[in-house]
Amino acid sequence: MYKISLMDLSDLDTAYEIEKRTNPSPWSKENFFSSFEVGHKSLVCKLDNIIIGFVIYSNYKKESHLLSIAVDKNLQRKGAGSLLLESMIRQSKALGAKKILLEVRMKNKGAIDFYKKFKFVEDAVRADYYTGSNPDDALLMSLDI
């Protein structure tokens, strides 16, 4: 059974390993850790007390911005990502957010379909948003909550 909890400092190394294994352009370790230090909200999903996924988001006034969400590859499409996103949406509502914003790679059809399942809508395309060895445009999506 999955368990969602707040991410704490002791979870960062494991969550970052998942970030590196699942994200084609992962955050640097410094960016990942500084996100925690600056107060971004973050949750982990555990299975048998082992971290299998996480979500990181910021909240500002009436908006939440989904910054990163990932589930270990061998456990994807088994409900952990949905549970993380549902938990993030509930927390955002509790913090007073009325909208959730995110960017997703245009090539990542699986993620786009995942967000659409939660009623996120396509707002715009940001050209050349993702750089480096795996460049891509970003699809901007939002959800009114």
CATH of the domain at 99: 3.40.630.30
Q: For 4-59, what is each residue's pLDDT tens digit?
A: 999 999 999 999 999 999 988 889 999 999 998 999 999 999 999 999 999 999 99
Region 82-103: what's the mean pLDDT?
A: 98
Task: List, by residue number, the catalytic residues.
Answer: 103, 115
The domain in which residue 66 lies consists of: 2-144
Helix axes 29-37, 12-22, angle to 10 degrees: 130
Region 132-144: what's the mean pLDDT?
A: 93
The pLDDT score that the predictor gives to residue 107 is 94
The pLDDT score that the predictor gives to residue 111 is 95
Helix axes 109-117, 80-94, angle to 10 degrees: 50
Quote the CA–CA distance of 98 and 73 in Å, as a whole number: 31
Tally the domains of the chain.
Answer: 1
Q: For 57-79, what is each residue's pLDDT tens digit?
A: 999 999 999 999 999 999 999 99
Read off the pTM: 0.93
